Each structure stands twice: as structure tokens, then as C-alpha cells.
Structure 1
Amino acid sequence: MECSHGYVRVDYDDEIATIVIDGERRTNAIDLPLAVDFREAVRWVEQSDARAAVVRGAGGTYCAGGDLTQSPEQFIEAVDTSLDAIVQMYESGTPYIAAIERVAVGGGLEIAVACDLRVADADATLKLPEASLGIIPPAGAARLLVQHVGLSRARDLLLTGRSISGATAADWGLITRTTDDPESVVETAQSLARTIAEQPPAALSALNKAINAAFPQPISSAKWDLELAKPLIQSEEFTDRKRGFLDQ
């Protein structure tokens, strides 16, 4: 299934859906058209009979986050649109698996942490650099990261903006499985999806709902994070800092 703008597609085989992010930029950065396509892809999966879904990037790269060349207004709209998909993924009875090749940065990592499981190559780079740009992760990563790695490690990543490897992320519990061969990440994720798809779908759905209920603050409240981020995204500080970031 090809989405409206052609930046995301869904491959479907034997009850496994694979959402492929194929952006205009080599890093699969998320602009508004891509965000619209991603939301459309998730909705398609939710309406299908898929028993599991894999989220991957095209070209051997997962996703380097939001497109910083957008205007503040476009950036906010792209985040808001992406959040619709992220909330739907998190609350879904269908298990989602992120297949992280090379990089999962910013908004790309926010999509990954909303998935139920994550596979990455050991040398992949995971990073939430928003604080260094003068903003915050606006699509729910702050609350989801705490659930995955604990408060102290979440603060470490969020407040410093530093990167960690796939291997370190696995030690922290953020990554479910790692591979030493970057080219085997997608295959490993799809193998995991097939194993999960063999389980009774009603049990999988009930399990996901039970696990999500373990946390008192639902992911739908992540829209509040976007409200916190909006004035920061529209600030001169962000404009200046993202210019320096893009010049690196």
C-alpha cells in the first residue's frame, strides 16, 4: 500500500505488515507530508488483519528525526500529525516492532519508543538532542523513555542530548534485541514479528492493553508535551541553534 505522498508504504505478507519510511531526504527526516503518510500507514495497519507490524526506514537508515529545515509552523503540524500515529500505535492491540538501522534520532526515536519492541544493530546511534537545540522532545519520548529505562537514565539522555549505541541501549533495556550485522536488523525484526504472529491475536491484544494499563499516565497525554514545546519551537533560540546543528 502506497501512501498519499509516496514517502511511506506498507508491505504486507502472511499477516505481517511492514511500514517503510522512505523520505525525500536520505536520513528519512520527518516533514509534514511524511508525517501525513505515516499516520495513514498506521491507520491502514489498524484496519487490516495484521497480527504484527514492523516499522523500518528505507535505504539502510531508520529515521533521523524531524526535518529541521521546516518552518516552526510546519514543524509543529508535523509533530502533531505524527503524534496521532504514535498514540494509535501505543494503544493498539497489534504489536509494533521498530527495526533500527544506523540511526534513531529525535522524532525517529520517539516513534521507536512508542513501538512494543525494538531491534537495532549494536553500533546504531540513538539520541534525543532536543535540549541542545533549545526545545524538548514533543512527541511523547520523555514519558515513554522513563518507562523503558528508568528515571535516572532517561534524565541522562534527555538533559545531556548525548548519543548511545544500540548495544548500550540493549543493556539499559531500551532495545529488545541487537545484531552485529546491520544488514540483518530488518530480517531479525521480521522473524520476531512472525514469532509473535503465531500467538492467538485476542491474547496479544489483551496483553498489550494490560501492559499499557500498568502506567498511570496514558500516552495520549503526550499532546501536553507538544503544548510545552510549541513556544520553544517558535523561539529565536531554536532558530539559531538548529541553524548551527544543520551546519555541522
Structure 2
Amino acid sequence: MPMIEDHTLGTIRLETSPSSVATITIDRPRKLNALSLELLAELEACLQAVEKSDARVLVLRTAGDRAFCVGADIGQFSAFSPIQMWNSWIKEGHKVFRQLAVLRQPTIAVIDGAALGGGLELALACDFRIASTTAKLGLPEVSIGTIPGWGGTERLTALVGEARAKQLILAGRQIRAETALQWGLVTETAEATSLEEAVDDLVADILRGAPVAQQTAKQLVRAAAQGVDSAILEAIASGFTTNTRDFHTGMNSFRDKTTPTFTGY
């Protein structure tokens, strides 16, 4: 897979461990991992590779400890014309973040440092967000005269409700990880020294489940959030998952009081 090596543009790396854990790392610490169109294209290519792979879970990381991601590359962003903003910048960000949101594998954003603007929107597109206790989160776009443009108004409101979303978006407030946890914006917090342990624990929990059942359930949760009748989809999904080899493995292990080994079939 091609990678961007220029120090100004940064790099996105994709690695897969023997335990079927895929890791995407945005490596642009000098620019606080700010996102450019070039990096969005690299992220899209990495997500496509993960979708087609045997990976069971995706961990999304960034380099450095100053910022998870501060959002848009302001130098590139500010140079766009209104037409370019409409048909390129906003369009590409939405496309890639939606690709992350609907990825069949469970996804975890590891937030160490500031997650602001498009950086928070990136994390919001993941299923889980584990933040260090020193992290801060916000959507400060109104402070430069614009609005969140990569799905933040929708995904943030779905997680924390309209009133709290307005605190971050309209008032431009930034909150600490503890408050974000109370609001449901992040799923877990940990001290910086224990952050990797918290990530490893969640990954281990995910790997203990049956892949097809997990990926099907993820689609059901997404459909439920859009108001689809669960009685219809759950009937279809149950018929599908109970026809897999993993279901029979799970039932036999439950009966025999042994630990199942799921294969994804």
C-alpha cells in the first residue's frame, strides 16, 4: 500500500498483528496530526484494506502525545474556494468518515491529547473511544467562523443529546475526558500510563466474541439508531447467525463449559 512520506504531509500506517488486530496510525505529530486531503485519501485506502482483510478489530491511533488530532490542516483548508469546499473538502471527509463508521469490524479510537474539530469527528466515527485522563475534546469551528463539516453535528448529538452538543458546538467549549465519560462521549478513560492496558483489555474482550455475530450486531445497532424496526431485522439476523459454524461452536462450548475458538464462519 502506498504511503505518504513527505514530512509536511505526514504518513498513515496500517499494520496487522498475528492476533488479527489491525492498527491504523496517523503519523504527523509536527502538525498535531492535522488532516489534509492527501491523508484522507491514505486513510480511505487503509480502511478499504481492513474491510477486505481477516482483521477482527481496528485500532485507530495517532503519533505523539500532544494531540490525538486537531482536525483540518488549516493551511490547506483556508485556501479552498467555496466551490472546492463544497465538492472536495467536505465531500471527501464525509465519505471517508462514513467508511470508518460503517466498517464491518469493531473500531476503537485511542485518544491521547487533544481531539478537536475534525479530530473529534474522526473519533466519533469509531465504535469505541478510549481517552487518556489528560485528553481534551471539542468542536471549536465557530471560533474561526465556520461549522463542524465532517459529521460532527450529527454524531455528537446522537451520543450526548442536543443541549450538550450545543455547548461544544455553539459555545465552542472544550471538555476534559472525565466530563466526556460522564456525557457518554467517550466509552472509557485511563491514566496515560494505563492507556495501552485499557485498549488491550477491550481488544481482548472483542476477540473473545464470534466475528460474524459481532459484525451483524454492529449493523443492527446502526439500523436501530436510524429508527429501523428491530423485530424485523433481528429475526433475519438471528436466522443467519444461528446457521454459522461459530454458533454451533459456541453452543457446544457453553454446554461443555469450555472456551470456544471462533473462526468467523
- Give the drift of 1:23: 2.1
Q: Which residue number in structure 2 is paired with residue 5 of structure 1? A: 4
What CA distance in whole angstroms lies between the structure 1 residues aligned with 2:200 and 2:59? 7
Q: Which residue number in structure 1 is paired with residue 185 of structure 2? A: 174
Q: Which residue number in structure 2 is paired with residue 223 of structure 1? A: none
Q: Which residue number in structure 1 is paired with residue 75 of structure 2? A: 69
- Give the drift of 1:3: 4.1
- Give the drift of 1:59: 1.7
What CA distance in whole angstroms lies between the structure 2 residues aligned with 1:5 and 1:22? 10
* Residue identity (%): 36
Decide which of 197, 202, 215 is 2:225's aligned counterpart.
215
Matches within 5 A, 1:177-216: 177-180=188-191, 182-216=192-226
Q: Which residue number in structure 2 is paired with residue 31 of structure 1? A: 36
- The code of the aligned residue for 1:115 comes to C
Root-mean-square deviation (CA, aligned residues, Å) is: 2.0
2:170 match: secondary structure: helix
What CA distance in whole angstroms lies between the structure 2 residues aligned with 1:116 and 1:175? 10
What CA distance in whole angstroms lies between the structure 1 residues aligned with 2:137 and 2:193? 17
What CA distance in whole angstroms lies between the structure 2 residues aligned with 1:62 and 1:187? 18
Q: Which residue number in structure 1 is paired with residue 233 of structure 2? A: none
The question of whether the paired residues in 2 share the 8 Å contact of 1:29 and 1:64 is answered with: yes
What CA distance in whole angstroms lies between the structure 2 residues aligned with 1:183 and 1:30? 27
Shifted more, 111-120 versus 125-134: the winner is 125-134
What CA distance in whole angstroms lies between the structure 1 residues aligned with 2:60 and 2:31? 17
The question of whether the paired residues in 2 share the 8 Å contact of 1:18 and 1:55 is answered with: yes
- The code of the aligned residue for 1:64 comes to V
Mark the CA change 1:198 to 1:147 in structure 2 (over 3 Å): closer, same or farther.
Answer: same
Cα distance per residue 1:55-100 (max 9 Å; x no partner) = 1101223111101011125766344323222111211221110000
Alignment partner of 1:96 is 2:107? yes
Mark the CA change 1:132 to 1:53 in structure 2 (over 3 Å): closer, same or farther.
Answer: same
What CA distance in whole angstroms lies between the structure 2 residues aligned with 1:56 and 1:75? 27
- The code of the aligned residue for 1:205 comes to Q
Q: Which residue number in structure 2 is paired with residue 239 of structure 1? A: none
Structure index of larger Rg: 2
Q: Which residue number in structure 1 is paired with residue 142 of structure 2? A: 131
Mark the CA change 1:127 to 1:191 in structure 2 (over 3 Å): closer, same or farther.
Answer: same
What CA distance in whole angstroms lies between the structure 1 residues aligned with 2:189 and 2:2? 30
Q: Which has the higher contact order (CA 8 A, sep 6+)?
A: 1
What CA distance in whole angstroms lies between the structure 1 residues aligned with 2:85 and 2:47? 20
Q: Which residue number in structure 2 is paired with residue 51 of structure 1? A: 56
What CA distance in whole angstroms lies between the structure 1 residues aligned with 2:125 and 2:170? 20
Alignment partner of 1:21 is 2:26? yes
Aligned pair count reads 216
2:225 match: secondary structure: coil
Structure 1 residue ranges without an equivalent (≥5): 219-248
Alignment partner of 1:82 is 2:90? no
What CA distance in whole angstroms lies between the structure 1 residues aligned with 2:90 and 2:12? 16
The question of whether the paired residues in 2 share the 8 Å contact of 1:3 and 1:9 is answered with: no
